[in-house]
């Protein structure tokens, strides 16, 4: 059922559209956050969830680009990497990470993709009192969000980043991409449980989907990390994953997934120019 969030403005024929794409999509929090933002800023706009599986992504993206009253697309798991193929241009963070979580229609009708996961994650980390500058980070998951978080942590001054992913081709590709930009600071973690880096890690991050479903195993065992190691998860539902619960039970500081998204709302406001005067719905291609 619908969350107990503020209802969007009444929808009419003039309402501008935004969507969030995912598979699954039931867990997404973007509709509540963005529709609340539209209501606060008195925009005649609405964001709706769109459930599309990987096989359907191409047709859905081509269809969305043809909708003349559609101004923005948010993207969640598992489409953040593939969606880049349907943008005309990549912003700096999307280009660096090779993944995107937001696309906007420009006034000239072209589509720009960028990625705010990394900036949102680092902002949330700092808001919880943890500055990544000079730290050693262990990050599990080199998918669409993981690579963006990795790039943002390095950009924020992380001294060393261990990257874990069971898909060796993907791990190698992301490692090469990050190493080109930050030479010598990234290492491939090859053992499970952050074994290589375990006793030196300041911040451990789960950027895998492990923890979204009740039966999931832990992405790594927080008990093997140093007692002061910060444990962060990017999963938003459930709010507290089994990983975070185990970390907290062991006395380690934790950072919840919601901070990554909450911190992105301001960035979306900028990206979609929601602070600017409304254009009377005239972002026509």
Structure tokens at 60: 């859905």
- In eight-state DSSP terms, residue 149 is H
Stretch that binds its own copies, among 10-18, 120-128, 183-191, 195-203 (CB under 8 A): 10-18
Structure tokens at 107: 């006034």
Residue 3 binds to its own copies (criterion: CB under 8 A): yes
Q: How many residues bind its own copies (CB under 8 A)?
A: 51
CB nearer to its own copies: give 26 or 169: 26
Peptide bond into 32 cis (omega under 30): no
Residue 145 binds to its own copies (criterion: CB under 8 A): no
Residue 68 binds to its own copies (criterion: CB under 8 A): yes
Residue 169 binds to its own copies (criterion: CB under 8 A): no
Determine whether 237 is an active site residue. no
Residue 10 binds to its own copies (criterion: CB under 8 A): yes
Four-residue CA torsion sign, 93, 97, 100, 106: positive
**Is the CB of residue 264 less than 8 Å from the CB of residue 116?**
yes
Residues 25-54 that bind its own copies (CB under 8 A): 25-29, 31-32, 35, 44, 46-53
Structure tokens at 10: 């009444």
How far apart CA 77 and CA 68 sit, in angstroms, is: 25
Residue from the set 40, 41, 67, 190 that interacts with its own copies by CB under 8 A:
67
* Min separation Cβ 30 and its own copies, Å: 8
How far apart CA 269 and CA 249 sit, in angstroms, is: 37
Residue 101 binds to its own copies (criterion: CB under 8 A): no
Residue 82 binds to its own copies (criterion: CB under 8 A): no
**Is the CB of residue 209 less than 8 Å from the CB of residue 145?**
no
Residue 60 binds to its own copies (criterion: CB under 8 A): yes
Residue 212 binds to its own copies (criterion: CB under 8 A): no
How far apart CA 193 and CA 206 sit, in angstroms, is: 11
* Min separation Cβ 254 and its own copies, Å: 24
Cα dist. 120→135, 160, 170, 245 in Å? 18, 20, 23, 22
Residue 107 binds to its own copies (criterion: CB under 8 A): no
Cα dist. 38→41, 87, 115, 236 in Å? 5, 24, 21, 22
Options 65, 80, 160, 171, the catalytic residue: 80
Residue 209 binds to its own copies (criterion: CB under 8 A): no
CB nearer to its own copies: give 205 or 236: 236
- Residues with a catalytic annotation lie at 80
> Which residues of this chain interact with its own copies, rule CB under 8 A?
1-15, 17, 20, 22-29, 31-32, 35, 44, 46-53, 56, 59-70, 281
């Amino acid at each position: 059922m619908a969350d107990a969030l503020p209802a969007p403005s009444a929808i009419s024929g003039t309402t501008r559209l935004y969507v969030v794409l995912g598979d699954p999509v039931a867990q997404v929090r973007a509709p509540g956050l963005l529709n609340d933002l539209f209501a606060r800023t008195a925009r005649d706009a609405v964001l709706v969830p769109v459930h599309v599986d990987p096989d359907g992504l191409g047709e859905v993206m081509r269809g969305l680009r043809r909708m003349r009253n559609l101004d923005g697309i948010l993207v969640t798991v598992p489409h953040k990497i593939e969606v880049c193929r349907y943008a005309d241009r990549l912003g700096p963070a999307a280009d660096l990470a090779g993944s995107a979580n937001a696309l906007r229609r420009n006034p000239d009708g072209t589509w720009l993709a960028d990625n705010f996961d990394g900036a949102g994650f680092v902002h949330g980390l700092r808001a919880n009192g943890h500055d990544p500058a000079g730290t050693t980070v262990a990050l599990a998951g080199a998918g669409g969000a993981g690579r963006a978080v990795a790039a943002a942590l390095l950009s924020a001054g992380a001294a060393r980043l261990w990257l874990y992913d069971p898909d060796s081709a993907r791990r190698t590709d992301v490692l090469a991409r990050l190493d080109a930009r930050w030479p010598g600071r990234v290492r491939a973690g090859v053992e499970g449980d952050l074994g290589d880096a375990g006793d030196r890690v300041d911040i451990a991050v789960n950027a895998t989907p492990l923890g979204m479903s009740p039966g999931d195993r832990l992405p790594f065992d927080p008990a093997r990390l140093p007692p002061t190691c910060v444990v962060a998860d990017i999963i938003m539902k459930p709010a507290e994953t089994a990983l975070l619960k185990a970390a907290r039970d062991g006395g380690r500081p934790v950072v919840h997934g919601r901070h990554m998204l909450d911190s992105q709302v301001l960035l979306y406001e900028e990206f979609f120019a929601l602070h600017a005067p409304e254009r009377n719905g005239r972002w026509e291609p």
